């Protein structure tokens, strides 16, 4: 559905015709105005009304309707298409999810199409309307504001994930932290980081192109804004890459701890087995009841055998205890 539609003239929002075609014609006639239409998960019929008025390329229209696109920048004859992947952090479940946002830039118009959950672009629009000097840059100002909001959210989500990682590391390196559930938590965390990277890393190339030269519908005076966004994006990507490396190290440390604990358990089992084997051996020998065993007919024979077995067990116990096996 259409969330908002307005004409911006000389950096100020103004009332315009309700019809798209008339509003676009009025914006182009003045020369210092542009039309901004915001849509949320439009149906094919709803978006066809918009695309036909602005002459959007069929491939761009298909991308906008199907969603599930990677962050990218495509330049067509009549419009520039930019795909963004907003990232959201759910504090209740400590999980990361993504949405999709497409921005169409053309001659005196900009169309934003949002898919998925999360806050809309109303906050971005309100903030931009308070900065007329930025809005005077035309449709490129909207692309900058939307991109800046998405990338700033990347930085915030990366900070939240860093906090979660610190808690996970504390559990991994706790005295009794190495258990089977920890590996599942680390793997789940890595999946979230991977989802984050799929949203942030591919956006590097589009932001680099927007900050450079040769991109249609983006005036030269607007490029410094996109360089600022590219700088923030680089910082977010560095944070995500650092999280991924730390998670790999935490997983390796966890597996090493599990191996150490298994070795400790095996040493303990071996020590107790050895202590049980000596009395079993002595008892087995005496159980054969050979006739020529002098102590069999002596009153001290049975106590002596018990004493030998007990002494051997105590000696082995002290030996294993001193070596740290028990």
The enclosing domain of 299 has a CATH number of: 1.20.58.340
Q: Is the confidence at residue 313, as pLDDT, over 90? A: no
Nearest to 136 by CA among 276, 31, 234: 31
What rounded mean pLDDT belongs to the chain? 84
The residue from 235, 257, 279 where one domain ends is 257
Residues 135 and 177 grouped into a single domain: yes
Token reading at 76: 């067509």
> Among residues of the chain, what percentage have pLDDT more than 90?
28
In this predicted structure, which of 57-71, 101-115, 121-135 has the lowest mean pLDDT? 57-71
Same domain, 105 and 246: yes
Last-in-domain residue among 225, 240, 257: 257
- Distance between CA 148 and CA 72 in Å, rounded? 15
Question: CA-CA distance, 179 to 279, in Å (whole number)?
Answer: 35
pTM value surpassing 0.85: no
Q: Are residues 22 and 166 in the same domain?
A: yes
Do residues 297 and 231 share a domain? no
pLDDT in tens, 179-196: 667 888 888 888 899 999
State how far Cα 6 lies from the chain centre: 35
Same domain, 99 and 34: yes
Provide the number of structural domains found in the chain.
Answer: 2
Instruction: Please indicate, yes or no, whether residues 200 and 253 belong to a single structural domain of this protein.
Output: yes
Same structural domain, 168 and 300: no
Asked if 44 and 55 count as a contact pair (C-beta separation under 8 A), the reply is: no
**Residue predicted with more confidence, 176 or 276:** 276
- Is 228's pLDDT higher than 90? yes
15-24 long-range contacts, CB within 8 A, separation 24+: 20/49, 20/50, 20/53, 20/54, 21/53, 24/53, 24/54, 24/108, 24/109
Task: Based on the fold, state whether residues 43 and 192 are members of the same structural domain.
Answer: yes
Domain match, 284 and 169 both:
no
Length of the chain: 326
Q: Does residue 154 share a domain with residue 137?
A: yes
| Domain co-membership, 250 together with 112 | yes
pLDDT band at 277 (very low <50, low <70, confident <90, very high): confident
Ramachandran assignment for 190, one of left (phi > 0), alpha (psi -120 to 50 degrees), beta (any other): alpha
Domain encompassing residue 288:
258-322
287/235 same-domain check:
no
Domain boundary among 200, 227, 257: 257
Q: For the residues 244-252, what does the mean pLDDT come to?
A: 87
**Per-residue pLDDT tens for 28-37?**
887 788 989 8
Higher pLDDT, 145 or 46: 145
What tens digit of pLDDT does each residue of 115-134 get?
876 667 888 989 999 999 99
Whichever domain contains 184, its CATH number is 3.30.460.20
């Amino acid at each position: 559905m259409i969330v908002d539609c307005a004409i911006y003239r000389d950096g100020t929002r103004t009332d315009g015709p309700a019809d798209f075609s008339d509003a676009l014609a009025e914006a182009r006639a003045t020369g210092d105005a542009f039309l901004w239409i915001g849509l949320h998960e439009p149906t094919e019929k709803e978006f066809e009304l918009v695309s036909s008025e602005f002459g959007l390329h069929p491939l761009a229209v298909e991308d906008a309707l199907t969603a599930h696109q990677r962050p990218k920048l495509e330049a067509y004859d009549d419009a520039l298409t930019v795909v963004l992947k907003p990232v959201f952090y759910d504090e209740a479940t400590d999980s990361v999810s993504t949405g999709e946002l497409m921005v169409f830039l053309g001659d005196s118009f900009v169309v934003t199409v949002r898919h998925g959950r999360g806050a809309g672009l109303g906050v971005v629009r309100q903030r931009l309307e308070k900065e007329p000097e930025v809005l005077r840059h035309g449709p490129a100002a909207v692309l900058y504001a939307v991109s800046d909001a998405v990338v700033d959210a990347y930085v915030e989500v990366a900070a939240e994930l860093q906090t979660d990682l610190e808690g996970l590391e504390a559990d991994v390196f706790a005295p009794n932290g190495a258990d089977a559930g920890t590996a599942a938590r680390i793997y789940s965390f890595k999946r979230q980081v991977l989802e984050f990277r799929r949203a942030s890393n591919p956006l590097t190339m589009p932001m680099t192109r927007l900050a450079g030269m040769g991109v249609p519908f983006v005036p030269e005076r607007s490029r410094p804004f996109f360089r600022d966004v590219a700088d923030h994006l680089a910082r977010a990507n560095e944070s995500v890459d650092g999280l991924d490396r730390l998670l790999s190290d935490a997983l390796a440390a966890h597996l090493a701890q599990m191996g150490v604990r298994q070795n400790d358990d095996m040493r303990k089992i071996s020590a107790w087995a050895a202590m049980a084997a000596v009395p079993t051996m002595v008892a087995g020998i005496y159980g054969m009841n050979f006739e020529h065993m002098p102590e069999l007919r002596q009153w001290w024979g049975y106590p002596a055998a018990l004493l030998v077995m007990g002494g051997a067990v105590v000696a082995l116990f002290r030996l294993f205890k001193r070596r740290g096996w028990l």
